[in-house]
Amino acid sequence: MNLTKTRPFLAFLCATLYFAGFAAAEVKPSNLFSDHMVLQSGIVVPVWGTADPAEKVSVSLNGQTKVAVADASGKWTVRLLKLKAGGPFEMTIAGSAGEAPIVVKDVLVGEVWLASGQSNMQFTVSKVHASYAGMLDEAKEIAAANYPQVRMFTVKPTTTYAPQTEVPGVWQVCTPAVVGDWSAVGYLFARNLNMSLKLPVGILLSAYGASTAEAWIPREALVSDPLLKPMVDKLDARYNYFKEHPGSTDAGVPPEPMMLNARLPRAGAPTAPLRDPSRNQHQPTVLYNAMINTIVPYAIRGAIWYQGESIGGGPQGLMMYGHVMETLITQWRKLWGEGDFPFFEVQLPALKNVSNNPLVREQQARILSLPNTGMAVTVDIGDPANVHPKNKEPVGYRLEVLALAKVYGHKGMEFSGPMYASNKVEGGAIRVKFTHAGGLMAKGGPLNWFQIAGADQKFVDADAKIAGDTVVVSSLQVNAPVAVRYAWDNYPDTANLYNASGLPAGPFRTDDWDAMAAVSAQFSIK
């Protein structure tokens, strides 16, 4: 054989086969656009995927067809005009290269919500699928879970240093056979909305246990904020060190974020080899990269959020948590391009742990200063020793009424428990005024967990009596009161101020004193 002549021929043949394969690349939509999906009604719906560069791609649904041309990198996006709720429909996706079109079956159009956060959002209906999970009456819940118009797409929990575009996963239809593996809060919220609205409801679940809020925010938003940029700088320093010193146990490596309730390593404890810091869900950006960038801009009505038990940076990080959350909401809204879509969070329940202390709940309430936000108070449904309370039914209901009242036009529906509005000193007492105060009541007995203080800033338990839409708070130990607090504790187990709609009042304080001093002893780091 003449190798001199053969080698050029082989090279030509390989090149020909390579480019032929490239030219024959199939049109491929994102995995989000697959059988049983739910599309958002009433707004523009982007549909995207990959194909050959310059290939025309058409997407048809219920009499509407839109065409896009793949860009130089092979990416394409079409935008379906406002869709009317209904279905099931079929979506056809076809390229101009002549390959067989893709037919997506059993497509519903209705309401789509993003559900995100940490393990209490991941918490599954059944304990079989997660040892820490399982609803109070999971067998009954699972047996009744026949809701063909309720669907869920669960994004695989993963972290990455750089933004990704592919999202593994499938849409599932709600049946007893699959619901046990679903997010309990996501399922309850979707089921309740489906029953109330008589519309299809889809949940995009993108949650990761023990994650911090900054892990869900894009790099650009963090580095452009002087308060938040140090988080990314520390990640980059540790990541670069890891790349340059694989397997190192060097004590001089830049530290990982320290959680509020983390225990410091024992003196003399063996040092484990460094791991890739981008695999740590406490690090900034890493979950945005893997689990949000991959689903933007799938059309959604809004987002529900359950997170806050994991906050990095010790006491300083805690006091910045509200700002981090405001940044997350603002950035997500910017990325989706749908305006100020609804964002409803779950305020942390009671727990005998510093992770659920009242300063965290106060920081969570800061998001209410942003438009179109809401908060489901859950201080009354905690567990003293379990960060994953199993009583998720009230969580789903309280998120539902927020959506019904603030998004779906259920006028007159109460969506919040009593909220602190103002206070006035009246002699030896303080009168506290509330909004959402229709039918103020003490559930199960006299009001508990009100405290009062004078100028010495020493709080004592107080007597509290309801008077219309106010509560009058006093104590014989405080002759000249200046401040009131309610449910100001990690585990205010008997806090019992409600309104007539059965919704609990959230913790609050009327002072702006340095509350950190009262809880700093609980932290492992000072």
The confidence score (pLDDT) of residue 3 equals: 41
Please check whether residue 107 lies inside any domain of the structure: no
Query: SS3 helix, strand, coil % of the chain, rounded to 5?
Result: 25, 25, 50
Please check whether residue 481 lies inside any domain of the structure: yes
DSSP code of residue 508:
E
Please check whether residue 331 lies inside any domain of the structure: no
**CA separation for the pair 137, 143 (Å, rounded):** 10
For each of the chain's 526 residues, which pLDDT tens digit applies? 444 444 444 444 444 444 444 445 699 999 999 999 999 999 999 999 999 999 999 999 999 999 999 999 999 999 999 999 999 999 999 999 989 999 999 999 999 999 999 999 999 999 998 899 999 999 999 999 999 999 999 999 999 999 999 999 999 999 999 999 999 999 999 999 999 999 999 999 999 999 999 999 999 999 999 999 999 999 999 999 999 988 888 777 878 888 877 655 555 666 778 889 999 999 999 999 999 999 999 999 999 999 999 999 888 899 999 999 999 999 999 999 999 999 999 999 999 999 999 999 999 999 999 999 999 999 999 999 999 999 999 999 999 999 999 999 999 999 999 999 999 999 999 999 999 999 999 999 999 999 999 999 999 999 999 999 999 999 999 999 999 999 999 999 899 999 999 999 999 999 999 877 666 666 554 3
**CA separation for the pair 68, 76 (Å, rounded):** 6
Relative orientation angle of helices 393-406 and 184-197, to the nearest 10 degrees:
40
Please check whether residue 474 lies inside any domain of the structure: yes
| H runs (alpha helix) in 337-439 | 358-364, 393-406
User: Over the stretch 240-282, which tens digit does the pLDDT of each residue have?
Assistant: 999 998 888 877 787 888 887 765 555 566 677 888 999 999 9
User: Residue 71 corresponds to which tokens in the numbers above?
Assistant: 């860009």
The confidence score (pLDDT) of residue 15 equals: 43
Query: The domain containing residue 435 runs over which residues?
Result: 419-522
| H runs (alpha helix) in 291-366 | 314-336, 358-364
Please check whether residue 286 lies inside any domain of the structure: no
The CA-atom distances, in angstroms, between 426 and each of 138, 451, 470, 482, 486 are 50, 16, 13, 10, 18
**CA separation for the pair 399, 416 (Å, rounded):** 10
Please check whether residue 138 lies inside any domain of the structure: no
Q: Which helix (H) or strand (E) holds 472?
A: strand 470-474
Place of tokens 């449904």: 381
The confidence score (pLDDT) of residue 326 equals: 98
Please check whether residue 513 lies inside any domain of the structure: yes
Report the number of distinct structural domains present in the chain.
1
**Amino acid found at 453:** A
The confidence score (pLDDT) of residue 258 equals: 83
CA dihedral 40, 43, 47, 48 (to 10 degrees): -120
DSSP code of residue 462:
-
The confidence score (pLDDT) of residue 10 equals: 43
At 524, is the secondary structure helix, strand, or coil?
A: coil
The confidence score (pLDDT) of residue 270 equals: 64
The dihedrals phi and psi of 336, each to the nearest 5 degrees, come to: -75, -25
pTM: 0.94
Please check whether residue 285 lies inside any domain of the structure: no
Q: What angle do CA 491, 495, 500 make, to 5 degrees?
A: 140
How would you classify the pairing of strands 441-442 and 497-498? antiparallel
DSSP code of residue 154:
E
